[in-house]
Structure 1
Amino acid sequence: MVTVEDSAELDEMFALIEAMNVPAGYRAEIIEGEIVMNPQRAVHAMIIRGLNRALEAGLGIDANILWDVRIDFPGTLNGYAPDIALVKEGAEEDDRGCYDYRDVEFVAEVVSKGSRRDDYDAKLKVYAAAGIPTYLIADPKTGVAHVFHAPREGVYTDETSHTFGEKFTLPSSGILIDTTSWPRD
């Protein structure tokens, strides 16, 4: 079983982030022990809003859909704030106000200039190791959405790619994702 390491140290690092007063329009995460800040742009927000609407349409408006909420993932010092995270119905926050990564059913990241390496490398590996059933990477630069599914032994065993402008369904859930209005960088 994979475990989250150094939760107390993550708490300290997030306390530092909160004390820094992260500028409006930025989000901060801890990836492999490094504090990473990336700007949120309109393109980013429009894709996140589209994903959120698709999840609500498929699951109902009361679905436990989170965006930019801290979730600690396996490995050393991985405190992520996914662009979108779908948490199992009935999942509850712990005493620190965080959800357990084992309750996450779906994660989506929208690639920005500064997050490209992390979204395609570190996060892909960590989400697979954590057993997150489906990970979607929306890349406005390339105009492609990559869907990784069915993690086994720390790697995703299924990947599909969809060009912006297409409609596709997410594996397992059957939720329709319509990318026809997704903007490109």
Structure 2
Amino acid sequence: MPVAYRMAAAMLAGALAGGLGAAPATAETSKSFQVSAVVANGCSVTTSGGSSWGSIDLGTVSGVSTATVQASLLQSGQAGLQIDCTPGMTASVTADTGLTPTTGGVRQLASGTSTVPYLLYANGSNVPWTTNAIALSFPVGTSHLSVPIVAKATLAGATRAGAYADTVRVTLSW
């Protein structure tokens, strides 16, 4: 190869290596990205597991008693339904009439064919809770409510011995 050609090639290589006429190399060293989430309205009921939201135990009473007995709904050691909802929303809770057919709109505890009438009271009301909806409000800053539920049974005085029970289905809607 002629000397002039080698010299021109060497100068071109030197110019390219030295960055002659080329822009300095740059690299982006920072970028941003967006993080987002959507918080949807919703509720949950605290339970101790299973399909039960608690139980009301009116205790053991004499079959000749005419007393009125009462007890509160308990779940996981706490009284009432423990409800958590998104702050700023409203919800409602309803109860059905129970598994035992009612008499005059009054729920019945049953043991075989024997029954004991009882009433439910909710949220501190003195009016029996039938199947009407109870409105619940969760103002901004509030996400937890405890809804007290009490059962009262007035014994007839000549009640057959046995374990009396009923199951009431409670529905939370929002």
Q: TM-score, normalised by structure 1?
A: 0.23
* Structure having the higher Rg: 2
- TM-score (normalised: structure 2): 0.24
Higher relative contact order (CA 8 A, sep 6+): 2
Higher helix share: 1
